[in-house]
Structure formats: C-alpha cells, structure tokens
Structure 1
Amino acid sequence: MMNRRKKINSTLKAKAKKANAKKAGGNGKAKYVSKADRAALEAKELEAKQRETQQTGTSQTDDEQNDVASTGVVKLETQPLCSQ
C-alpha cells in the first residue's frame, strides 16, 4: 500500500514539475538563426545604413565615426596637389 501511494505521489510531482517548466517558458537559449538568414539580415542592415548615409549626405564611414567619437580626433584624407 505504501509503495503504491509513493509511486502515485512521485508521478504527480513529476507531472507538476513538467507543467511548471513548460509554463515558465524558454531555457535562456536564443533561437537558432540559419547561416542564410543571418546573411540576409546582414545584407538588409547594410542596405539600410547605405540609404541612411545617402539621405543624410555624410561621407564618413561608421568606423571613422566611431574613431572620432572615441578619440575626438578627425582623420583627414589627403589628395595630391598636382597629378603628374
């Protein structure tokens, strides 16, 4: 009789534990994104940045902007004065 009661209690506890785990949601892992999807997202982001720079009319790249923001120094591009 005791073994039967113990077995019933353990199965009910296991079911309750599974239900709580399911209700709690994810396990902290990010959803997998395939390589093709990552490439497509990267292409969309790059295209959006290009459109944004064309609309604003700025000629600095993101790397140059980050360098200026971190160091406070602007790099000037030099061109030859005379071409021979």
Structure 2
Amino acid sequence: MNRRKKGNQILKARAKKANAKLSSKIKPKYISKGDRETILTESAEDTNVNSEK
C-alpha cells in the first residue's frame, strides 16, 4: 500500500468515526420490554384516575 492511499484511508476512517459520533445522538434511548410495560400500565392508571374525577 502506498503512502498516499494509506493516508487517505486513515483520514476517511477518522471522518467516518466523527460522523458516527454526531449522528448517534439522534437515536432514542433503548427501553426494555419490562420498563415499557410498567410505563404503559402507569399511564393507563393515570388516565383512569383522571376520567373518574
């Protein structure tokens, strides 16, 4: 591998890593199935309490 190709390869890899860091903030945080279930049940209970008032 010649010098120019190796240099370009390193620069492309750095740019790719920098773009990955910037774009990863858009992705929402993972919520496990159990946590999703508890959140849904809590919100359902809240709506039932509000509708009874």
TM norm structure 2: 0.71
Give the aligned partner of residue 33 of structure 1. Answer: 31
CA deviation map 1:10-67 (0-9, x unaligned)? 1111111211221123575x54321221121111111111111111xxxxxxxxxxxx
Distance 1:35 1:23 in 2: 27
- Considering only aligned residues, what root-mean-square deviation do their CA atoms show, in Å? 2.3
Is 1:19 the counterpart of 2:18? The answer is yes
Give the aligned partner of residue 77 of structure 1. Answer: none
Distance 2:18 2:42 in 1: 40
Q: Aligned letter for 2:44?
A: L
Q: Aligned letter for 2:11?
A: L
Give the aligned partner of residue 6 of structure 1. Answer: 5
Unaligned runs of 5+ in 2: none
Aligned residue pairs total 53
Unaligned runs of 5+ in 1: 56-84
TM norm structure 1: 0.50
Q: Aligned letter for 1:3?
A: N
Larger radius of gyration: 1
